[in-house]
Amino acid sequence: MALIECRQLTRTYRRGNEEITPLRDLDLDIESGGFVALMGPSGSGKTTLLNLLAGIDRPTAGTLSVAGKPVHNLPRRALANWRSAHVGYIFQLYNLIPVLTAYENVELPLLLQSLSRSERHDRVATALEAVGIEDRHEHYPRQLSGGQEQRVAIARAIVTEPTILLADEPTGDLDRQSATSVMELLAQLNSEQGRTIVMVTHDPRTTEWADTVLHLEKGRLVEQAVGSERP
Amino acid sequence: MRLLPFEYAVRNLGRSPLRLMLSVGGSVLVVLLVLIAAGFTQGMQQAMRVSGSPDTVMLIGSGSEESIERSEIAMRSAGIVAASVPGLLRRAGIDAVSPEIHLAMPLVTEAGTPGRLAVIRGVAPEAWLVHDDTRLVRGRAPQPGRSELVAGRLAARALGFEPPESILGMTFSLDGEPYEVVGLMEADGGVIEGEFWTALTDLLVTAQRDSLSTVILRMDQAELGDLEAFAATRLDLELAAIAEPEYYAQLSAFYRPVRLLVIVTAILIAIGGITGGLNTMYAAFASRVREIGSLQTLGYSRAAILWSLVQESVLASAIGSLIACAISLVLLDQFVIRFSMGVFGISINATVLSLGLAAGLLLGVIGAVVPAWRCLRRPIPEALRAGE
pLDDT, tens digit, 9 for 90 and up, residues B241-261: 999 888 888 888 888 888 888
CA distances (Å), B24 to each of A73, B14, B31, B135, in order? 44, 12, 10, 44
Determine whether the interchain pair A95/B7 forms a contact, defined as Cβ–Cβ distance below 8 Å.
no
- CB-closest option in A57, A93, A108 to B298: A108
Residue B196 sits in the same domain as residue B273:
no
Segment A153-178, tens digit of pLDDT: 999 999 999 999 999 999 998 999 99
Nearest CA in chain B to A166: B297
**What is the crossing angle of helices B289-298 and B350-376, to 10°?**
80
Give the pairing type, strands A4-15 and A61-66.
antiparallel
Q: Is B139 helix (H, G, I), strand (E, B) or coil?
A: strand
Give exposure, B134-172, as e/b (b: 16+ Cβ within 10 Å). beeebbebbeeeebbbbbbbbbbbbbebeebeebbebeb
B142 close to B175: Cβ distance less than 8 angstroms: no
B151 & B196 share domain: yes
Task: State the pLDDT at residue A231.
Answer: 57
Do B286 and B372 have their domain in common? yes
Among residues B203, B237, B271, the one where a domain terminates is: B237
Query: Do residue B199 and residue B314 come from a single domain?
Result: no
Q: Do the Cβ atoms of A56 and B380 come within 8 Å?
A: yes
Inter-chain touch B297–A100, beta carbons under 8 Å: no
Domain count within chain B = 2
Does residue B111 sit in the same domain as residue B224? yes
How much is the pLDDT for B112? 65
CA distance A34 to chain B (A): 22
User: B381 vs A81: CB contact, 8 Å cut-off?
Assistant: no
**Is the CB of residue A25 less than 8 Å away from at least one CB of chain B?**
no
Res A94: pLDDT: 94
Is B171 within a domain?
A: yes
Other C-beta atoms lying within 10 Å of the C-beta of residue B61: 21
Tell me if B82 is assigned to some domain: yes
Q: Give how far B377 is from chain A: nearest CA, Å.
A: 12
Are A192 and A18 within 8 A, CB to CB?
Answer: no
- pLDDT category of residue B115 using cuts at 50, 70 and 90: confident
Domain assignment present for B275: yes
In this structure, the answer to whether residues B262 and B324 fall within a common structural domain is: yes
d(CA B259, CA B333) in angstroms, rounded, equals: 18
Same domain, B285 and B343: yes
Reported ipTM exceeds the 0.90 cut: yes
Is the per-residue pLDDT at A138 higher than 60? yes
Chain A residues touching residue B384 (CB < 8 angstroms): 56, 91, 95
Q: Candidates 3.40.1010.20, 3.40.50.300, 3.30.70.20, 3.40.50.1820; correct CATH number of A32-61+73-226?
A: 3.40.50.300
Residues B106 and B222 in one domain: yes
Average pLDDT, rounded, for chain A:
93
Q: Tell me the C-alpha distance between A92 and A107, whole Å.
A: 20
Q: Would you give the distance in Å from CA A60 to the centre of its chain?
A: 21
Within 10 Å of residue B244's Cβ, how many Cβ atoms?
A: 20
The pLDDT of B146-167, averaged and rounded, is 91
**Domain end call among B205, B237, B269:** B237
B340 pLDDT band, cuts 50/70/90, is low
* Domain parsing of chain A, residue ranges: 32-61+73-226
Residues B123 and B229 in one domain: yes
Distance CA A202, CA A187 (A): 17
| DSSP structure class, residue A228 | P
Amino acid B111: pLDDT: 63
Domain housing B178:
63-237
Q: Is the pLDDT score of B93 beyond 70?
A: yes
